[in-house]
Structure 1
């Protein structure tokens, strides 16, 4: 029997700093919930709204795979590896922090709010050489389809990380139904609804709801509204 955990949008941790309005699906910063520490190797899922020109000054990370997906607007990124880049909606950014990296992230626009998802995964290798990558995604390829945007393989679709994880993004017409097959035995899937309403394994999910499913090899999916948009994170359930 598959198991699941449901995280409704309004049960997430919340911190409003004025310039930053943040929602945390898992414990982060001042939000601590012992029942929400991680889902397998998925450690952080932050949904941040950042005012024009504002952001996070230079700060360090190590031994974490950090994925950033802008939902609206653009991020100006600088890091200690010498990278300086702007990541826009329709792109994905990844950093393997490894032995240690420092970076800053700011809203690249002064007159537009930035909305981003920042996701942290525990790696399956420690103390790797830090690395950076970003890719522009073919947004049309996710229409009525789960488009792979991340995997463990450098030669596969999307960016790659040091973990047996696969991320997929989909945008669906109302009534569209499909199945998602889990990529690796023992992995679970954490589904995060970006927009609209969907039904996964019989659970009705609305905007910003999260559903973790494990002990199964596939999940059933149906889009209930025309603007349904979902991120699937297929991750190991065992910490390395």
Structure 2
């Protein structure tokens, strides 16, 4: 979430407020239900991403973590990774999620892992990537063949990048965020 607040409530009895400094990652799994509701009158700005797990019928797990917004100033902050990674939250898939705040004029190299594509998204602002301007709410895919891919912010910008192993095993059964 970049703006606003939402309340998450689920069938495991958890109820938490989500905001730009409180991240939730849900591995829904079997027999799990949840709902979110807007808290207050502020407009909500967020990304909600659904990821197919590596297997179906998994046990549900919901993770909440407090975020330090300064940890993403001019550098990539790791938010989520596969089970067994060093990420503060995990998903049951070969995916890593990073975000950053890049000041106007700043340049940053997209994180990379051998064999992983980068799915790059401009949440707010505008950047130049490979000589083309990329505005807010626009996404690009950068393949693994270009490990040193830089972006430069034209204005203060908020960026998200997913490192995705397109060859990873996944399930087409059950919940898509299991």
TM-score, with length taken from structure 2: 0.86
Cα distance in structure 1, aligned partners of 2:119 and 2:136: 14
Greater mean alpha carbon deviation, residues 147-156 or residues 202-211: 147-156
Cα distance in structure 2, aligned partners of 1:149 and 1:224: 21
The match for 2:47 is 117
Matched, 1:234 2:163: yes
Which structure's residues are more often strand, by fraction? 1
The match for 1:98 is 29
Contact 2:127 2:155 in 1 (8 A): no
From 137, 144, 147, the counterpart of 2:74? 144
Cα distance in structure 2, aligned partners of 1:125 and 1:97: 12
1:133, CA displacement in angstroms?
0.7
Cα distance in structure 2, aligned partners of 1:195 and 1:89: 14
Gaps of 5+ in 1: 1-69
Contact 2:99 2:158 in 1 (8 A): yes
The alpha-carbon distance between structure 1 residues 134 and 154, as it changes in their structure 2 partners (threshold 3 A), is farther
1:174, CA displacement in angstroms?
2.0
Aligned residue pairs, count = 169
Gaps of 5+ in 2: 170-178
- Determine helix, strand or coil for the equivalent of 2:70: helix
TM-score, with length taken from structure 1: 0.65
Matched, 1:187 2:96: no
Cα distance in structure 2, aligned partners of 1:231 and 1:214: 16
The match for 1:165 is 95
The match for 2:10 is 79
Cα distance in structure 2, aligned partners of 1:129 and 1:234: 24
Instruction: Describe how 1:11-160 pairs up with structure 2 within 5 A.
Output: 70-109=1-40, 111-153=41-83, 156-160=86-90
> RMSD of the alignment, in Å?
1.8
Contact 1:181 1:217 in 2 (8 A): no
The alpha-carbon distance between structure 1 residues 203 and 91, as it changes in their structure 2 partners (threshold 3 A), is farther
Runs of 4 or more, structure 1, over 3 Å off, are none
The match for 2:173 is none
The alpha-carbon distance between structure 1 residues 91 and 186, as it changes in their structure 2 partners (threshold 3 A), is same
The match for 1:201 is 130
The alpha-carbon distance between structure 1 residues 159 and 113, as it changes in their structure 2 partners (threshold 3 A), is same
Contact 2:110 2:161 in 1 (8 A): no
